[in-house]
Chain A
Amino acid sequence: MKSENLAALSIVLLLSCTSSAIAGELKVIDPWIRSAPPNAPALGAFMTLENHATTDQSVVAARTALAVDRVELHRTIMVGEVMKMVPQESIPVASRSATVLKPGSWHVMLIGPEKVPTMGDKVQLTLVLGDGTEQTFEAVVRHGKMNMEGHSHEMQTE
């Protein structure tokens, strides 16, 4: 817990140092899609969302250029030893904060892909934000390693 607090503090400090340069921007960092079996009925997309603005932001919808049945915002919640998958209306990103979309937590679900992309493929994603703006970017398909290491600047909004 202590290291998480430290990490949280470090990102707040980091953000306060850099926010003047990119104020008002929601930054999408390291977007990726978990490689999945060719017959996978659902794909997970993950990334870190950094809100450098002084106002709270949220993701209210997502789209993809990939042919899929639908895209949903989800969150996995551990209750006891049971994992609950809960669709979300939005993913909050508090001001001067970051929300990490990662396995076992917040994520974007691409449901019913016509063809499952393979390792290294790039998939175009669009996030629709609460203020009506959109962010379009490419997410690379890679192995679904729990991205716990190398991402010490993690801060989750509850």
Chain B
Amino acid sequence: MKIRQYGIGLVLPLVLTCLAIITSACEQGPKTPQTEAAFMLPKAAAIADFTLSHLDRGTYDQEDARGNWSLLFFGYTHCPDVCPTELFMLAEMMRAIEQDPGAVSQTPQVVFVSVDPDRDSLQHLQQYAGFYHPSFLGVTSEQPTIDRLCKSLGVFYERVYYRDGKALELDPAATVPAGLEDSYLINHSASIFLVNPAGKLHAIFTAPHDPNTMIRDLAVIQASWRS
């Protein structure tokens, strides 16, 4: 056996190291929340500084996110399917929390970030987001700011143009063909990003989403945050 070749002097420290790792893992056990759907980051990640705009608040930035648990979802109001589905799901989650406020230790702030500032004015955006739930914030910014935030969180989005039902291959730098300026669709991430009260990315809920699972995961995550 190979292990004999190394002798006890080498094996014992190895065994002790393994034991130490197992023991420390057990110690961390209660702190690592067992979530059903949320993907927990091993360590909450800092987010690039951002300042977004909101109709009534003026701005929505990192400081606004601090102190709250925030659920960030990225999309656009021209979205045919995914955004209405997700915003309705999040509204159902909010209504369930309102029915049973003890289900979570802190009600999360839902923030709908538009990746389409060209078409989503602040007023249009807030009216849209607020329709689903009055507490929802609809925010956006200049495209480079949005891009920086998306990159920081790992959010993907891309504009796609169609003519007569066929996707057009467009160089990103190319000018948009006349008549199609307003008709593009946007492929985008369907994940929901949980930002903790320290303003750091804490967990990611990948699609599909279920309101009750979201609530149970939030409760577990929040409880582990306090301990």
A interface list, Cβ under 8 A from B? 34, 36-42, 44, 72, 74, 76, 78-79, 81-89, 103-104, 107, 109, 111, 143-146
Contacts and interface: CB of A to CB of B under 8 A. Distances in A.
17 contacts: A37-B130, A37-B132, A40-B128, A44-B80, A44-B81, A44-B84, A81-B207, A82-B188, A83-B190, A84-B187, A85-B81, A85-B160, A87-B165, A104-B82, A104-B208, A107-B80, A143-B88
Contacts of A42: 78-80
B78 A41 contact: yes
Contacts of B92: 145
A87 B161 CA distance: 10
Interface in B87-138: 88-89, 92, 119, 124, 127-128, 130-132
A104 B85 contact: yes
B168 to A, nearest CB: 12
B214 interface: no
Q: How large is the interface on B (under 10, 10 to 19, 20 to 34, 35 or more residues)?
A: 20 to 34
A36 B85 CA distance: 10
B9 to A, nearest CB: 49
A104 B128 contact: no
Interface in B176-227: 185-191, 206-208
Contact of B187 (A85, A104, A111): A85
Given A76-B81, A83-B82, 13 more contacts: A41-B77, A74-B80, A82-B156, A83-B188, A85-B185, A85-B187, A87-B162, A87-B185, A88-B165, A103-B84, A103-B85, A109-B80, A146-B89
Nearest to B81: A76
B138 to A, nearest CB: 10
Contact of B190 (A78, A143, A145): A78
A40 B76 CA distance: 11
Contacts of A146: 85, 89, 208
A34 B191 CA distance: 21
A86 B167 CA distance: 8
A85 B187 CA distance: 6
| Residue among B79, B80, B165, B206 having the largest count of chain A Cβ atoms under 10 Å | B80
Contact of A81 (B88, B160, B190): B190
A88 B206 CA distance: 26
B220 to A, nearest CB: 22
A87 B82 CA distance: 14
Contacts of B160: 84-85
A74 B77 contact: no
Contacts of A82: 156, 187-190
Given A41-B77, A82-B187, A89 B165 contact: yes
Contacts of B131: 36-38
Contacts of B80: 42, 44, 74, 76, 85, 107, 109, 111
